[in-house]
Amino acid sequence: MRYLPSTICPGSMNFADRGLTAWHLAARGQLLPSRLIYGSVCLLVSLLLLIPIIVHGEDEFSFELDEIEKKPLQWGGYAELKWEHMDINQGSAFSSLNLSDPSLSTRDRFSGSLQIDGRYDQGIASLNWTLKAAAQQDDLGWADMTDVYEAYVSIRPVPLLTGGLGKKAYKWGKGYAWDPVGFINRRKDPNDPEEALEGYITGEIDLIKSFAGSLQTAALTTVILPVWDEVNEDFGEINNVNLAVKLYLLYYDTDIDLVYYSGNSRSTRYGLDFSRNLATNFEIHGEFAYVPNQERVRLLADYSVLVEEVSATSWLLGLRYLSENDLTSIIEYYHNDAGYSKEEMDHFFQLISEGENQFLAARDDSLLSKAQDLSIKGYGRPQSGRNYLYTKFSQKEPYDILYLSPGLTAIVNLDDSSFSVSPEVVYTGITNWEMRLRFSYLGGGKSSEYGEKLNRNKLEVRLRYFF
Amino acid sequence: MWYRHLFKIAKQTIFLTFFLSSVWVAAACALDGNEILRQVDENMQPQSYEMYRKLINIEPDGSQKEFVFYTVKKGPDKMVALFLSPASEKGRATLRRGDNMWLYIPNVGKPIRITSLQSVVGGIFNNSDILRLDYNLEYKAEKVTDQGDSYLLDLKAKSPSVAYAGLKMKIDKTTLLPTSIDCYAISGMLIKTLHYSKIKDFGAGLVRPSMLETSSPLYKEYKSVMLFAKVNKRELADEVFTLNYMSRVDELR
């Protein structure tokens, strides 16, 4: 708000209107000293109030050097609060498997999390970290976790060579929802693919070379990933040292990765991915992975369990398109040979159904225990089937409302036609705050992947503050 | 008759002379326009440099949203920008190599290909505004108009991959620096207008505007301001402008 002299001291405006000042009038003896003092005070107050306006006008936009000063220690992150309301899919296979109280029809969950990232630079070396802590309370109880997602030292003697040692998360692959060639990646959640993930303890050497001509860049990343007692135990078989290599090429304006993994913790695997802009608003990408001896746990019709080795390929083809009215569409098709067919999933759901009957009739939980074990080993994983379609549409700032992005995400299991669909709205208009409202609806018939999930739908409100 | 033949030759010679003169004049004009544009680029920044920029989005209610980023550029078509603030954007990096653009988000952990028209930060700036290459690389001069103390250049995009199909650039004759630029879509619609101001000496002979104001008829009551600081000539390795380097750009500061 701007304060004018007349607003503060109405009298002062009268002098100015006549082209006279209080000093002129005093000099002529037409003004009493008391009025002069009053006028002077008013003028002083007015000037003091005007100073911020004048200063603001002069330096309306400033760029101070301390804003860009680099400090050796940098850190930041976010704090998050989330409320979720879920309608339980009563009678579904996963509600029978995971809930002890079959009468539970809804669940409310409050959760909070904190992520702190940082780095400390010292000469050619830097220490990087990502720490995560989370806690939640819902109708089933309290749960919390703290974890070091990443903590590694990086040394870069020259721009074309970097060495690293410590716990680091890898995100290999070009897919948005899935990464078939992400041989040392953690599995990401297609509903939130942009979230940070926990890394593995590794040693890494990264070589980059740029060229003139059609091959513009070549980069070779070599990763040593040991699996020992209490070191990367969840990666695979212990007491092995594994090797993963990625060769990146920027060739004829196309990103190409050739990926190789070898080691005894998991079977050997080969991969290829690519990404290219076909037009300024149209990008295509794809991944292809081949695993000659993929171990697979399979439930047979007589409920016996078979551990088999199969030759499996998995691949993904996707596109990203930006329309003239700022609608971004991401569409991906994903095929996984090692996933379960509709018939195999049927056996699993029948096992749960019979296990429940057995438990109710004889308090015998052997079949339910077997189902729980199989759920962990593969049947209960997200997108455990063979063929999926992923679509995400997000509209940037509709109706010229800046920083507002409504979106819609859908994942369809093409084998059983079940699906999840999630409309959402994200608002980032307040600096360092992000608000997201999302509703997810799961649909599908009996013995289908999404038709047998624990929840029928979920409403989620998420608030994040970045610091 | 011989004089008819002579008349025919004379007519053809006059026509040819007129035609060649027109072509030469047109070529000379185009050359001048492109030369002016090249001079503008040279005056605005060195071929390889580092600089800091602050982008301020001003909304109709007067509230402001600020972004600070660090940029390095090498040669005509390699550029990377790293967001330093606000905290919600810190660590994001955008890389450009010619028509190829990538975005790196720390949480996502891998660079993804993006399009030049996509907005990285919201508001009326898009990727191309943040990762703009030299004007003479992306545009050619079609017409030069002498307006007394300034030139008006009509510029046309050299390829459809450029964010704006056409520009009308007003250039101060004395300094050969741009004062305003109208940016047009292929349909001829005015997308935004840029105003350069506050000429400042950045050192090493670089004297150029330190402020760029943007308004857009598409977002009538919104305004964006970009401030420039520490524009320095700097030579960098080509490897800095690669996907593997995007997570480490801050190490260059």
Q: What is the mean pLDDT of residues A228-238?
A: 94
Q: In chain A, positions 332-391, which contact chain B (CB-CB < 8 Å)?
A: none
Better pLDDT: A167 or B110: A167
Question: Would an 8 Å CB–CB cutoff place A194 in contact with chain B?
Answer: yes
Nearest residue, CB atoms, B86 vs list A176, A248, A432? A432
Better pLDDT: B205 or A240: A240
Confidence at residue A462, expressed as pLDDT on a 0 to 100 scale = 98
Q: Are strands A106-122 and A125-138 parallel, antiparallel or unpaired?
A: antiparallel
Q: Give residue-wise pLDDT tens across range B96-113.
A: 998 888 999 998 888 998
Question: Would an 8 Å CB–CB cutoff place A304 in contact with chain B?
Answer: no
Asked if B90 lies within 8 A of A76 by C-beta distance, the reply is: yes
Question: Would an 8 Å CB–CB cutoff place A447 in contact with chain B?
Answer: no
- pLDDT higher than threshold 60 for residue A41: no
Q: What is the dihedral of CA A284, A340, A195, A456, to 10 degrees?
A: 110
Residue B85 with chain A: CB contacts under 8 Å: 67
Encoding tokens for residue A380? Answer: 């209960």
Q: B162 falls in which pLDDT band (50, 70, 90)?
A: confident
Contacts of B65-70 spanning 24+ positions with Cβ under 8 A = B65/A403, B65/A429, B65/A431, B65/B122, B65/B123, B66/A431, B67/B121, B68/A67, B68/A68, B69/B130, B70/A68, B70/B249, B70/B250, B70/B252, B70/B253
Asked if B218 lies within 8 A of A275 by C-beta distance, the reply is: no
- pLDDT higher than threshold 50 for residue B117: yes
Nearest residue, CB atoms, B113 vs list A119, A206, A277? A277
Identify whether the C-beta of residue A130 lies closer than 8 Å to the C-beta of residue A196.
yes
Encoding tokens for residue A282? Answer: 């149209």
Smallest Cα distance from A280 to chain B, Å = 5
Confidence at residue B1, expressed as pLDDT on a 0 to 100 scale = 55
Q: A76 falls in which pLDDT band (50, 70, 90)?
A: very high
Asked if A63 lies within 8 A of B52 by C-beta distance, the reply is: yes
Residue A116 with chain B: CB contacts under 8 Å: none
Encoding tokens for residue B131? Answer: 């990762």
> CB neighbours of A165 closer than 8 A, spacing ≥ 6?
A152, A153, A202, A203, A204
Mean pLDDT of chain A: 87
Distances (CA, A) of A364 to A100, A301, A367: 14, 20, 8
Give the whole-number percent of chain B exceeding pLDDT 90. 49
Confidence at residue B17, expressed as pLDDT on a 0 to 100 scale = 58
User: What's the ipTM?
Assistant: 0.78
Give the count of beta carbons closer than 10 Å to the beta carbon of residue B35: 13
Smallest Cα distance from B229 to chain A, Å = 7
Residue A433 with chain B: CB contacts under 8 Å: 88
Confidence at residue A199, expressed as pLDDT on a 0 to 100 scale = 96
Q: What is the mean pLDDT of residues A2-11?
A: 33
Residue A326 with chain B: CB contacts under 8 Å: 119
Q: Compute the distance between CA of residue B96 and CA of residue A15 in angstroms, rounded to an integer.
A: 62
- pLDDT higher than threshold 50 for residue B198: yes
**Least confident residue range of A189-203, B10-24, B54-68:** B10-24
- pLDDT higher than threshold 80 for residue B16: no
Identify whether the C-beta of residue B23 lies closer than 8 Å to the C-beta of residue B16.
no
Better pLDDT: B221 or A350: A350
Q: Compute the distance between CA of residue A368 and CA of residue A352 in angstroms, rounded to an integer.
A: 6
Q: Compute the distance between CA of residue A9 and CA of residue B69 in angstroms, rounded to an integer.
A: 46
Nearest residue, CB atoms, B87 vs list A197, A400, A467? A467
- pLDDT higher than threshold 70 for residue B81: yes
**Least confident residue range of A165-174, A417-426, A457-466, B70-79:** B70-79
- pLDDT higher than threshold 80 for residue A196: yes
Give chain A's radius of gyration (CA, Å): 31
Asked if B242 lies within 8 A of A250 by C-beta distance, the reply is: yes
Nearest residue, CB atoms, B106 vs list A117, A282, A397? A117
- pLDDT higher than threshold 90 for residue B221: no
Distances (CA, A) of B36 to A234, A409, B143, B182, B252: 63, 49, 11, 17, 33
Search chain B and give the residue with CA nearest A198. B107
Q: Are strands B150-157 and B139-146 parallel, antiparallel or unpaired?
A: antiparallel
Asked if A197 lies within 8 A of B109 by C-beta distance, the reply is: yes
Q: B40 falls in which pLDDT band (50, 70, 90)?
A: very high
Chain-centre distance for alpha carbon B136: 8
**First-last CA distance in chain A:** 30
Encoding tokens for residue A181? Answer: 């060639």
Q: What is the mean pLDDT of residues B185-202?
A: 91
Confidence at residue A324, expressed as pLDDT on a 0 to 100 scale = 81
Residue B118 with chain A: CB contacts under 8 Å: 322, 328
- pLDDT higher than threshold 50 for residue A72: yes
Residue B237 with chain A: CB contacts under 8 Å: 158-160, 210
Better pLDDT: A18 or A71: A71
Asked if B222 lies within 8 A of A76 by C-beta distance, the reply is: no
Which neighbouring-strand residues pair with B219? Answer: B216
- Taking alpha carbons only, the member of A133, A152, A155 closest to residue A144 is A133
Confidence at residue B2, expressed as pLDDT on a 0 to 100 scale = 56
Q: What is the mean pLDDT of residues B66-93?
A: 92
Q: Give residue-wise pLDDT tens across range A11-38.
A: 333 333 333 333 344 444 444 445 545 5
Q: What is the mean pLDDT of residues B63-89?
A: 91
Q: Give residue-wise pLDDT tens across range A105-159.
A: 999 999 999 999 999 999 999 999 999 999 999 988 999 999 999 999 999 999 8
* Tokens 């967001």 sit on residue: B83
- 3-state class of A374 per DSSP? helix
Better pLDDT: B160 or A146: A146
Q: B223 falls in which pLDDT band (50, 70, 90)?
A: confident
Q: B5 falls in which pLDDT band (50, 70, 90)?
A: low
Q: Give residue-wise pLDDT tens across range A333-376.
A: 999 999 999 999 999 999 999 998 888 888 888 888 999 999 99
Q: Compute the distance between CA of residue A394 and CA of residue A326 in angstroms, rounded to an integer.
A: 8
Mean pLDDT of chain B: 84
Q: Give residue-wise pLDDT tens across range A293-336.
A: 998 999 998 889 999 999 999 999 999 998 888 899 999 999 99
